Structure 1
Amino acid sequence: MPSPLFSSGAINRSLSGINSIDALLNGARWAVLSIPYSFPSSNSTAFWSTYSNGYGPVSGDGEPWRSTFAPLTSSDQSNFVNALQQWSNVINLRFVQVSESPGNVGDIRAAYTIEADSLTLAWTYLPSNSPLGGDIWINTKSRLNEEEWNPGSLSFETILHELGHALGLKHPFADPDDPAKATLPPDLDNTIHTIMSYTYANLDGDEGNGFSFHPTTPMVLDIAAIQYLYSPNNGFHTGNDTYLFDDAHTYHQTIWDAGGASDTIHYAGSLPSLIDLNATRPSLIGQPVYVQANGVNRGSPIPNIWIADKVTIENAIGGQGNDILIGNGSRNNLDGGAGIDTIRIEAQRNQVTLNKTGNGYSVKVNTNPGNEDTLVNIERAAFDDLRLALDLDGNAGEVAKLIGAVFGATFVNNTGYVGIGLGKADEGLSYEQLAKFAIDATRLTDHDKIVTLLWLNLFGELPTGSEKSPYVKMLDEDDISTGGLTVLAAESAANAENINLTGLVQTGLTYIEVG
């Protein structure tokens, strides 16, 4: 057990040979897998080392001898323990709180002191054989003394960051005292990838000095590096877990899940979201999170949900908005929920087998036939080379039938026409409004000519006077609108046969995005 004079001891850990890990390694880790921590309540010499390998004589002007020494409040202690738990969730390491005595203190100790520079939020001593290794000092002249350390705050992120140092992680950028150490490239030296970074930016490169909501867990690169030091926590979330997100809360985290055959990300909100089930890839779920410059949002939202490396989440359920879902290399159940939802498939259409099922579709990339995904409530499929509309019982069906009735069956293969129609339908135009939009595109206003056009496209021949006169009369006397009559034509059995609606249900409707 550590005391004011001794630590539990540290051991060296060689580099991994992987830059994204090595850029965060300082070279040492704790030698034990059960780390005591404590909250000092006194700066008496009975509790601190006065030796040269410790804090030195009390005549020194550094911590802990300053008169500004103070113990953490109970609220800050509670949030500190929460931050410790976030690290414990991902690594094979236990943290055990001890009550301090002259013969027994923690390896990790946290207290307040003062540093004149208010921009210095806190500082930490790395794992070592010295009694000060692992100690964390919070500057009471900084922002950490002005706000609660609640998850999502800069203060909570700072405590996560300092605990990363206490466990053996370094900053990912260049160290002028040791320029040979590995560093991250600029696109990864960012707090959305590692809380050990000092850079706040979105994926477009817009920078600021904070986030509207800060990370509440170690992030993807932190988890990979800390697991290299201590090994993963293989007992955390080993069942079939559901990660539920809603609109009542804001999120900024990385998911570590050690097992389970059917884990699910479920978004129960109404905002458009991106759910990507691939490990180390970004998702945007729920309330948007922004880079901020002095409290002002900058640029586009940042990814706020990540999945750690070597983690498999099998299923995704979207919300009420227009969501994008992306599967991974395992069998996925992908449910878009309400809205116009899209599955993104990272392959060309001719490399994928798509089959209609009772309540949706199944899809598999031909190079991996054992990986068949199930799609429910998915209206669109985006391949590398084209897009398919799958909602032939919804907007896509209305568009296909209207194109057949107004322009002729062959125009159902016109991806631009389909794209224009889908765009209008997805904007919220009713079936009748969409039909009026299609008729307007022909520039026909004469009722006789409109009826003739519809009849010709349905039956392949011009109508006789007696055949068309009842419909012309209905339009002339406002018994039916132009859009209403066009819908009747579109819904006819003849039109469904002309456009091969049954076949379109099986294959989907190809389109291009317009506008």
Structure 2
Amino acid sequence: MPSPFTSSEITHVDSANDTIDSLLSISRWASTTISYSFPISNNPLFWSSLSGGYGFQFGDGEPWNSAFVPLTAADQTNFVRALQQWANVANLNFVQVAETASEVGDIRAAYTEDPDESTLAWTYLPSPSTLAGDIWINTKGLLRFQDWNPGSISFETILHELGHALGLEHPFADPNDPSKVALPRDLDNTRHTIMSYTYSNLEGDEGTEFSFHPTTPMVLDISAIQFLYGSNNFYHTTNDTYTFDDASTYHETIWDAGGFSDAIRYAGAIPSLIDLNPASASRIGQSVYVQSNGVNIGSPIHNIWIADNVTIENAIGGQGNDIFIGNSASNSLDGGGGTDTVVIGFPRHQFTFGKSSGHYFIAANTNPANQDILLNIERVEFDDTGLALDLDGHAGEVAKLLGAVFGASSVANQEYASIGLTKADEGLSYEQLGAFAINATNLTHHDEIVTLLWLNLFGTIPTQSDKSPYINMLDNDEISVGSLAILAADSEVNAQNIHLTELMQTGLAYI
């Protein structure tokens, strides 16, 4: 254990990976068991005034400053909570020690003063110096006046400073060190690493903070800290379900060390995006924005990330219109309520698709045994076509109306199907959709409309006696044009004409 006048052993590091190296300082603690303490006094017995320490004890160095204040009990609670977030992802064991004249923590945290109110905190990196691992919070900064609750910029700041105390650096270029590796601009932001200073959204708009800040290390932080200390291979090793709802706001990265049937479950109603790929992100629940002076900028950002080298096999959507992106594992994707879509970023011909045991399945032709199971999914979108699966819903209405109004062969017209699905998904009722289809034929006379529907159903021109009852109903406003289209669409002969049973196995193709 270190004393006020000595530091624990360190070791030098270099990953030979530019992305990770951009976040690394030159050293880390040699041990994975790291102590921490909360100083309660600036008495010289507890601080080094020697060379490599804080200098003359009556100067204005950090502990000697008259503004020195210990952390409050609430601060300490959230500080330990932030430590735990790092321990969750890395092979780290944090041990609290009580400060004495002969023993202090590797990491120490207290308040002191910097006249610049925009300076929230600063930290000394692991090194042979007795300053190493010391975290100082500015009494003139926001953290002195704001609770350090998760989601606040204060909690993110503590996570950031602990990253420094463990050996992480800022990812941007250092003008005083030309050899410093920097992250590319599109990665140098706090969506990817809490060690960045840049708050930016997907459009590249920059602000000063988030509406809700990260509550864990983010994807690149996790990769870097695991390089330094190893992974926590005992965290979430069983089949875990990560549940999110609309009652809370989230901004985090999931680290999962094992299991073979893990799931992300959304128990809410806001349309969401769930991407199961490692090092990828989702938008789930309450929106999180980049802000400038408290004002939201642009579109919501992704707020739930999956760490690299993590496999989450399954996803369960909420009551809204959700979007799912699977990964290389066998996935079970359950849309829940709403009109839900699975996005496949490859051409249709590269996949086998069908229905078995009451559910749809999809598998790459190169790995047919690796099937994704689709439950309560209404749309599958390949990069060249789409399949509408809700043949008992909007897709069925569109397919049947196409057959009745435009003829059975039109069911294969993907452009027509796309127009109909768009209108149905936008909220047109079945009757309104029928009227929309009839209007698209440019026929206005009741005789012409009845003749068209009869011809498409039976393949023959109707006699006057065949069509008179329907013409009379239209003339007398006993039935609307849209309702007559539905009457034809829902007929058994139309179902046979368009091969509705087969469509229920294959889905309705659209573009």
TM-score (norm 2): 0.98
* Mapped contact 1:404–1:498 kept (Cα < 8 A): yes
Residue matched to 2:397: 398
Residue matched to 2:253: 254
Residue matched to 1:137: 136
Shift of 1:360: 2.4
List per-residue Cα deviations over 1:60-82 (Å, max 9, x = no partner).
21110011000011111111111
Residue matched to 2:283: 284
List per-residue Cα deviations over 1:310-334 (Å, max 9, x = no partner).
0000000011111110110111000
Residue matched to 1:89: 88
Name whichever of 139-148 and 191-200 sits farther off.
139-148
Residue matched to 1:114: 113
List per-residue Cα deviations over 1:410-445 (Å, max 9, x = no partner).
111222211111111111222112111111222323
Matched, 1:301 2:330: no
Q: How does 1:418-497 map to 2 (within 5 A)?
A: 418-497=417-496
* Mapped contact 2:341–2:377 kept (Cα < 8 A): yes
Matched, 1:207 2:220: no
* Counterpart secondary structure, 2:374: strand
Residue matched to 2:6: 6
* Aligned partner letter, 2:399: A
Residue matched to 2:102: 103
- Alignment partners' CA distance in 2, 1:58 and 1:476: 101
Name whichever of 162-171 and 481-490 sits farther off.
481-490
Name whichever of 382-391 and 159-168 sits farther off.
382-391
- Alignment partners' CA distance in 2, 1:146 and 1:56: 29
Shift of 1:176: 1.8
Percentage of matched positions with identical amino acids: 68
* Counterpart secondary structure, 1:110: strand
* Aligned partner letter, 1:257: D
Shift of 1:346: 2.1
List per-residue Cα deviations over 1:337-372 (Å, max 9, x = no partner).
111111011221000000112332010011122311
Residue matched to 1:195: 194
TM-score (norm 1): 0.98
List per-residue Cα deviations over 1:278-321 (Å, max 9, x = no partner).
00012111111111111111111111111001000000001111
* Aligned partner letter, 1:232: S
Residue matched to 2:331: 332
Task: List alignment gaps of at least 5 residues for structure 2.
Answer: none
- Alignment partners' CA distance in 2, 1:474 and 1:8: 92
* Mapped contact 2:42–2:68 kept (Cα < 8 A): yes
- Alignment partners' CA distance in 2, 1:371 and 1:301: 33
Matched, 1:34 2:52: no
- Alignment partners' CA distance in 2, 1:113 and 1:416: 67
Residue matched to 1:413: 412
- Alignment partners' CA distance in 2, 1:409 and 1:145: 72
Shift of 1:145: 1.7
Shift of 1:473: 1.9
Shift of 1:452: 1.0
* Mapped contact 2:233–2:257 kept (Cα < 8 A): yes
* Counterpart secondary structure, 1:495: helix
Residue matched to 1:511: 510
Shift of 1:18: 1.3
Shift of 1:199: 0.5
Spell out structure 1 runs of 4+ moving beyond 6 A.
none
- Alignment partners' CA distance in 2, 1:5 and 1:248: 49
- Alignment partners' CA distance in 1, 2:324 and 2:358: 18
Task: List alignment gaps of at least 5 residues for structure 1.
Answer: none
- Alignment partners' CA distance in 1, 2:135 and 2:66: 17
CA RMSD of aligned residues (A): 1.0
Shift of 1:223: 0.3
* Mapped contact 1:201–1:207 kept (Cα < 8 A): yes
Q: How many residues align?
A: 511
- Alignment partners' CA distance in 1, 2:428 and 2:202: 34
Name whichever of 411-420 and 311-320 sits farther off.
411-420
Residue matched to 2:44: 45
- Alignment partners' CA distance in 2, 1:55 and 1:145: 23
Shift of 1:373: 0.5
List per-residue Cα deviations over 1:204-229 (Å, max 9, x = no partner).
21111111111110000000000000
Shift of 1:46: 1.1
* Mapped contact 1:347–1:365 kept (Cα < 8 A): no
- Alignment partners' CA distance in 2, 1:478 and 1:204: 53
- Alignment partners' CA distance in 1, 2:253 and 2:367: 28
* Counterpart secondary structure, 1:271: coil
List per-residue Cα deviations over 1:436-492 (Å, max 9, x = no partner).
111122232322221111100000111111111122222222322222121111011
Shift of 1:139: 0.4
Residue matched to 1:313: 312
